[in-house]
Amino acid sequence: MTPFRTLVLAAALTFGIVPSSAWAQISDTFVLTPAQVELTAFGALRSGEPARALALSEALLVRDSQDLIALRIASQAALEIGQPDVAVRHGRTLYRTADSDDLQFFAARVVSLAFAQMEDFTRAQLWLRRARQVAPNDAAAQSVAQDYAAVRQRNPLTFNLDFGVRPSSNVNNGSSESTFELFGLTFLLSPSAQELSGNQISVGATFGYTLQESAQSRTAVSVTGEILRYTLSAEAQDSAPTFDVSTLNYDRVVVGVQHDWLAGREAQPLKATFNYGLSWVGGDIYARDLSAGLSTNWAIGQRSSIQTGVRFGHVTYFESGNVSDSVAIDLGWTHALNQGQSIYVRNSFERTNSADATSLNSDRTSLSIGYDFGTLADTFDIGVEVGAQWRKYDPDTTSPDGRSDLRTDLTLNIGFPLVEYYGFSPIASLEAYRTNSNVSRYQSEGISLDLTVRSNF
């Protein structure tokens, strides 16, 4: 008797396909074809006998380890009887060997559910993204998004990766002027201090972990890293041949704690944050900063809300040893319109003081108004924002009369939700800005295009 026949007969005897009293008489003559075993295993799965279905399908896998039907039955049956490790093993094999998107979708969903059973929510999320990539229709894709949201809510670990490329006409934030005045004298600005075109390449990552969560509160810690690198265009290199673009490099690491809770009988949502950050410029340590904030959100009716908050900051600059302290008040209003559209207003007031360097003393007021058009023509997500920032610096040795800057900007955001890869879609942000200053070296303008990706769920 072949090993396959022996395994099938053993499974048949165990699960009642063949009575034990008849075993001796038919053990040499009883034969089930693979198709009959598949049909029996499928029937057992549908009739609520997953253990029986798993035994039969694994017998088939002894004969052919890449039997797609057997792998499908085995992975689902193992999941139903609470053997997620077995479901993962068969599901992964099915995903690798599947000959259609439908089968790959099924396999990825089974593996994600198995990892969720094992409370390995991070790998469950990764497999849901694989399922989204091969979803056969919109309904299936939406079901993946719903599952992802449910798993993300249960996962104490959160992670977010960012990558962007930003071509800019003023990558070094240089002056649009070629001269500046000081004490009544006119000086030439070096080519490297004037605006130079090029590209900013950014890579960022945030990892968070929920320490405590209940119906009333949640506490989480996070670590965020950011890397910015720059390249100059050929024209900029010709204009400033001695400029070392690596001096623009910027790196930053932030460790943070966030606590959210509902306060009082009205269950007012409150958020408290504390962050410790280090930054490097040109490869050298630049500053250490501490910040703390408290914010809340006030619902007004069904569609509007007001956001308020206060922030405190403390910065130490390593090279000079200078220290500054700041306090800021944030205000915002958001109103939801029909068809996924919304409008918002943001306003903030900030004061920075330093006993070490008067050049750091300043008042800043920011105002921005944005409109989200939602999805247009079922193709694009469109948003536009207009902003202005007024900043006034106290008088110092380089600006005896003080310095006043006004920066205005216009930003157009375009999302492409139909262009999707594993649940991520590209976003293009086109920004035009101008800074008017009474000190000509700070006069600047530029246009940039920021290309990034975001998750659709």
- How far apart are the C-alpha atoms of 365 and 417, rounded to whole Å? 35
426 compared with 6, residue with greater pLDDT: 426
- Indicate the residue among 137, 153, 169 that finishes a domain: 153
Which residues touch 191 (CB under 8 Å, ≥6 apart)? 239, 240, 243
Percent of the chain with pLDDT over 70: 92
**pLDDT value at residue 103:** 95
Give the pLDDT band (50/70/90) at residue 190: confident
Give yes or no: residues 298 and 446 share one domain. yes
State the pLDDT at residue 183: 66
Evaluate if residue 19 carries a pLDDT over 70. no
Alpha-carbon distances, residue 233 vs 170, 195, 239, 242 (angstroms): 11, 12, 10, 14
Cα separation, 297 vs 309, whole angstroms: 9
Whether pLDDT at 23 is above 80 = no
Residues 139 and 171 in one domain: no
pLDDT at 177: 82
- Comparing CA positions, the residue from 205, 206, 286 lying closest to residue 248 is 286
| pLDDT at 27 (0 to 100) | 43
Q: Is the pTM of this model over 0.85?
A: no
Residues 98 and 171 in one domain: no
Taking alpha carbons only, the member of 360, 364, 365 closest to residue 395 is: 360
Helix (H) or strand (E) holding 452: strand 444-455
**Domain span holding position 196:** 161-455
Whole-number Å distance between alpha carbons of 429 and 413: 4
* Residues composing the chain: 457
CATH number of the structural domain spanning residue 308: 2.40.160.40
For the chain, the domain total comes to 2
**Statement to judge: residues 137 and 256 lie in one domain:** no
CATH code (residue 38): 1.25.40.10
